[in-house]
Amino acid sequence: MATEAAHDAAAGAAGHAAAPATGMPQLDFSTWGNQIFWLLVTLGVIYFVLSRVALPRIGAVLAERSGTITNDLAAAEELKLKAVAAEKAYNEALAKARSEAQAIIAETRAAINAQLAEATAKADAEISAKAAESEARIAEIRAGALQSVAEMARDTTDALVSALGGRADGAGVEAAVAARMKG
């Protein structure tokens, strides 16, 4: 068997050597009809596969992507409008809250000022009452002190006149002390 295979190989090599060299088989005019037929069949099969299988799938993917992009853009626009409306509502609420806060501050300030005025008036009244009471007490003390000074002056005058060996006249001492007290 090995010898037969070697023999067939040698015969095939000799047969090829005996065949005339025609060049490239694509340029051999005797096979052009056959090549054109298979070229058309191959192009037809490629066209059929592309038009029936691949291109519809690609078209569906492109249509789906286009729809998704359109939907996403519409959703983004809607969300943008909602965000603008929310921002407007937020700004309005903030302005309202600020105005309410200013009103509360003004109310509180007015209430505090009223309480302060009331407390000041009350304190002024108490101070005036205490000052009047104190002045009355001072006047009493002053009157009491003047009376005590007058009594001491009379007693001292009586004691001095008695110590000097004389007898003091009560009416004269009283007149002298009263005159001296008047200034």
CA distance 9 to 52: 48
Instruction: Provide the residue ranges of all domains of the chain, joining segments of one domain with +.
Output: 45-182
For residue 151, give Cα distances in angstroms to 32, 40, 84, 167.
166, 157, 97, 18
Q: Does the predicted model carry a pTM greater than 0.75?
A: no
What gap in Å lies between CA 116 and CA 118, rounded to an integer? 5
10 Å CB burial of residue 102 (0-12, 13-18, 19+) is exposed
Cα three-residue angle 15-17-21, rounded to 5 degrees: 115
What are 36-67's pLDDT values in tens digits? Answer: 999 999 999 999 999 999 999 999 999 999 99
- pLDDT on residue 7: 57
Residues of the chain scoring pLDDT < 50: 18
174 CA to centre of own chain: 90
